[in-house]
Amino acid sequence: MKIRCIAIDDEPLALQQIGGYIRKTPFLELTGLFESAFQALDFLASNQVDLMFLDINMPDFNGLDFAKSLTNKPKIILTTAYSEYALEGFRIDALDYLLKPIPYPVFLKSVNKAKEWFSVKTENEPEPELFVKSEGKIVKIRIADILYVESANEYIRINLDNKDVVTTLKRLKEFEEELPAERFLRIHRSFIVHTGKIKAVERFKVILNNNQTVPVGELYREHFQEFVEKSFRI
């Protein structure tokens, strides 16, 4: 699991430093850099973010007030040049508090703490499940067991790790909306794949853990290339 991160800081050099640190840390994924809290609002409203590096002293809307204004906020690591705000960090339930300038070893120690927190949280959460109608029965499917999903006219075939195939009367687009976007990717008008089960990528196809190949459709190639570059750090 990669921790999806954004950073907010009105100092461009500090922002680029944090962005560089995130990019070089294997278990972190950089999804956005913002020079103000206002810029980050729209992104947070439409994207899943796990961890936010947040500067405190920003004009117009400081980091602490911004954090307090969010209803479903990501976990936060505060970044600031002023030590007197440490107590406020605890009040917004920040994971950590980093004083500028921030050396990479200090950053790494902090994000390892975040990694541990997310690992414990994941272990304690029940694995999400779906229920679908298939052959007159209601079938329970664990999200983690889905390898890929294939369209078959009015039906879809849900291919599982154990080689079982569950067929149900549903459009692929409709089923796509039920799947967690951070774990599944539409790569063809007829195929959705579990991104965590991609073993290799060739020119216009992916190879899954069971060695099956799935084509990448022409209309989906640009979006798929963006996913590959971000996930495999090409």
> Which segments within 51-204 are labelled E, that is strand?
51-55, 75-80, 96-99, 129-134, 137-142, 146-152, 155-160, 165-169, 184-188, 191-194, 198-202
* Burial (CB count <10 Å: 0-12, 13-18, 19+), residue 101: exposed
The pLDDT value given to residue 234: 43
197 pLDDT more than 60: yes
The pLDDT value given to residue 231: 64
Which residues have C-beta within 8 Å of that of residue 100, sequence separation ≥ 6?
A: 14, 79, 80, 81
Tell me the pTM.
Answer: 0.58
Which residues have C-beta within 8 Å of that of residue 26, sequence separation ≥ 6?
A: none
The pLDDT value given to residue 233: 46
The pLDDT value given to residue 19: 95
Q: Which domains are present in the chain?
A: 3-124 (3.40.50.2300), 129-232 (2.40.50.1020)
The pLDDT value given to residue 87: 64
Weakest-pLDDT range from 24-33, 47-56, 166-175, 196-205: 196-205
Range list of H helices, the chain: 12-24, 37-46, 63-69, 86-91, 104-124, 172-176, 221-232
b/e code 10-47 from CB counts within 10 Å (16+ = b): beeebbebbbebbeebeebbbbbbbbbbeebeeebeee
The pLDDT value given to residue 16: 95
Per-residue pLDDT reduced to its tens digit, 77-107: 999 887 766 666 666 788 998 999 999 999 9
Q: Of 109 and 64, which is predicted with more confidence? A: 109
Quick one: DSSP state of residue 195? Answer: G
195 pLDDT more than 50: yes
The pLDDT value given to residue 57: 84
Query: Letter for the amino acid at 229?
Result: E
Any idea which residue has 């995130």 for tokens? 22
Which residues have C-beta within 8 Å of that of residue 151, sequence separation ≥ 6?
A: 171, 172, 189, 190, 191
pLDDT band at 157 (very low <50, low <70, confident <90, very high): very high
Per-residue pLDDT reduced to its tens digit, 27-68: 999 999 999 999 898 888 878 899 999 998 888 788 888 988
1 pLDDT more than 80: no
